[in-house]
């Protein structure tokens, strides 16, 4: 198996589950979603989604071969020192610096800045409005427009200089509790993702409008997951790279309903941290 490329391995040798994924139905207008309670009469989200049954392949046999430059995601071993991932102060004080260190090491970047995170737990989301349920729509967090916009919003006077050099936006996704038996994360191989299936969509916050990509279905897209992820495992997701060496600048991902989940599986608990990644030393 040593000499085989990822593509050679995928259909013949990998286990897969057939699972429904939700895609955007192509539409004429720009889709809009609200990250908060919209004004009266305004829908939380415009645009229809359609379900497609998609084979989702077990990427565990590929772990050593995956790269952010090609597939756009990798799995790492990482033991966090965080004691309580539901403590927002501990996330900022302990976990953000850990994520910055891990991503620096994994990418060789000169500078990594963690700037945002989401805790997901369906059992707790009704009680705490900072806690979200797993996402169930294929998407990418940033677009060709919102990636540099985020750098400008977060980096102040340094932004224009930083934007002249290569930069990326990378998420670090991890289970808070393992093994993940319900709503695992699936990742689209960036090499299989065509930019024509990336649909820029407004994401409204109370104080600003962001932009994400909704994804339309294409049978060429190849999806992977890491079954039963543990709390000492983390996935890096390259959402954007201004000058990628491998495949696309973008990738795509979502949580999904795994038909092989045990009926009594506890709700998935996870945390994703978003980071700005700058590659050029001295910038
Ligand atoms: C992300 C993301 C979805 C989920 O990490 O950016 O969209 O359900 N995650 O965890
Ligand atoms: Fe996302």
Q: Which of 148, 116, 149, 103 is nearest to 279 (CA)?
A: 103
Report which bound ligand comes closest to the CA of 22. Answer: 1
197 alpha carbon – ligand 1 mean position (Å): 19
For residue 111, the tally of other CB atoms under 10 A from its CB is: 17
* Residue 101 vs residues 65, 95, 277: alpha-carbon distances, Å: 22, 10, 11
Q: Which atom of ligand 1 sits closest to the CA of residue 139?
A: 7
For residue 121, which ligand has an atom nearest its CA?
1
Residue 268, SS3?
Answer: coil
* 243 or 177: which leads in pLDDT: 177
173 Cα: distance to centroid of ligand 2 (angstroms): 9
The whole-number average pLDDT for the span 54-83 is 97
The pLDDT of 57-76, averaged and rounded, is 96
pLDDT over 50 (residue 3): no
Ligand 1 atom 6, closest CA? 141
Backbone angles phi, psi at 60, to 5 degrees: -60, -40
pLDDT higher than 70, residue 71: yes
Report whether pLDDT(248) > 80: no
Index of the ligand 1 atom closest to the CA of residue 183: 8
**Pocket lining for ligand 1, CB < 6 angstroms:** 120, 134-135, 141, 171, 173, 185, 253, 255, 270, 272
DSSP code for 144: T
* Distance from the alpha carbon of residue 136 to the mean position of ligand 2, in angstroms: 10
CA angle, corner 108, sides to 189 and 230, nearest 5? Answer: 55
Which sequence spans correspond to the domains of the chain?
Answer: 55-278
140 alpha carbon – ligand 2 mean position (Å): 6
pLDDT at residue 282 in the model: 85
Pocket test for ligand 1, best of 33, 72, 135 (most atoms within 8 A of CB): 135
pLDDT-derived band at 30 (thresholds 50, 70, 90) equals very high
For residue 255, the ligand 1 atom closest to its alpha carbon is: 8
Residue 1, pLDDT > 50, answer no
- Rounded distance between C-alpha atoms, residue 179 and residue 227, angstroms: 8
Q: What is the pLDDT of residue 13?
A: 80
Cβ contact 190:248 at 8 Å: yes
For the chain, give the longest Cα–Cα distance. 58
Burial class (CB in 10 A: 0-12, 13-18, 19+), 52: middle
Ligand nearest to the CA of 172: 1
pLDDT at residue 283 in the model: 81
pLDDT tops 70 at residue 9: no
Number of Cβ atoms within 10 Å of the Cβ of 215: 25
pLDDT band at 5 (very low <50, low <70, confident <90, very high): low
Q: 105-119 pLDDT, tens per residue?
A: 999 999 999 999 999
| Domain 55-278, CATH | 2.60.120
Among the bound ligands, name the one nearest to the CA of residue 132: 1
How remote is the CA of residue 253 from the centroid of ligand 2, in Å?
A: 6
* Interval 152-192: pLDDT, tens: 999 999 999 999 999 999 999 999 999 999 999 999 999 99
For a pLDDT cut of 90, what percent of the chain falls above it?
Answer: 92
Instruction: Please identify, by atom number, the ligand 1 atom nearest to the C-alpha of residue 135.
Output: 8
Residue-wise pLDDT for 148-161, tens only, equals 999 999 999 999 99
- Prediction pTM value: 0.95
End-to-end CA distance of the chain: 42
Q: Which atom of ligand 1 is nearest to the CA of 133?
A: 8
103 Rama class: left (phi>0) / alpha (psi -120 to 50) / beta? alpha
Alpha carbon nearest to ligand 1 atom 5, residue: 272
pLDDT at 11 over 80: no
Listed residue (238, 154, 142) closest to 188, CA to CA = 238
How much distance in Å is there from the Cα of 14 to the middle of ligand 1? 24
Mean pLDDT of all residues in 126-146: 96
Distance between Cα 120 and ligand 1 center (Å): 8
Q: What is the per-residue pLDDT for 184?
A: 98
Q: Is the pLDDT of residue 12 over 50?
A: yes
DSSP H helical segments within the chain, as ranges? 6-13, 88-90, 96-107, 146-155, 159-162
Q: Mean pLDDT over all residues of the chain?
A: 95
């Amino acid at each position: 198996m040593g000499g085989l490329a990822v593509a050679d391995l995928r259909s013949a040798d990998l286990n897969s589950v057939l699972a429904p994924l939700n895609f955007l139905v192509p539409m004429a207008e720009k889709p809009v979603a609200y990250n908060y309670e919209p004004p009266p009469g305004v829908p939380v989200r415009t645009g229809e989604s359609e379900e497609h049954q998609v084979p989702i392949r077990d990427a565990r046999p590929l772990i050593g071969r995956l790269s952010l430059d090609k597939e756009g995601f990798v799995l790492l071993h990482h033991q966090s020192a965080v004691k309580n991932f539901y403590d927002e102060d501990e996330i900022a004080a302990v976990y953000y610096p850990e994520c910055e260190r891990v991503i620096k090491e994994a990418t060789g970047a000169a500078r990594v800045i963690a700037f945002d995170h989401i805790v997901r737990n369906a059992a707790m989301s009704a009680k705490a409005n900072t806690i979200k349920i797993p996402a169930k729509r294929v998407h990418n967090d940033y677009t060709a427009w919102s990636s540099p916009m985020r750098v400008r919003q977060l980096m102040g006077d340094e932004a224009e200089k930083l934007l002249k050099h290569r930069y990326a936006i990378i998420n670090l996704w991890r289970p808070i509790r393992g093994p993940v038996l319900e709503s695992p994360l699936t990742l689209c191989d960036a090499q299989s993702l065509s930019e024509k299936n990336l649909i820029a969509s407004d994401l409204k916050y109370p104080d600003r409008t962001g932009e994400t990509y909704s994804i339309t279905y294409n049978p060429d897209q190849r999806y992977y997951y890491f079954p039963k992820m543990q709390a000492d495992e983390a996935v890096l997701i390259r959402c954007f790279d201004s000058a990628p060496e491998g495949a696309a600048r973008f990738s795509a991902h979502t949580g999904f309903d795994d038909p092989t989940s045990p009926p009594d599986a506890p709700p998935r608990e996870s945390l994703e941290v978003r980071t700005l990644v700058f590659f050029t030393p001295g910038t």
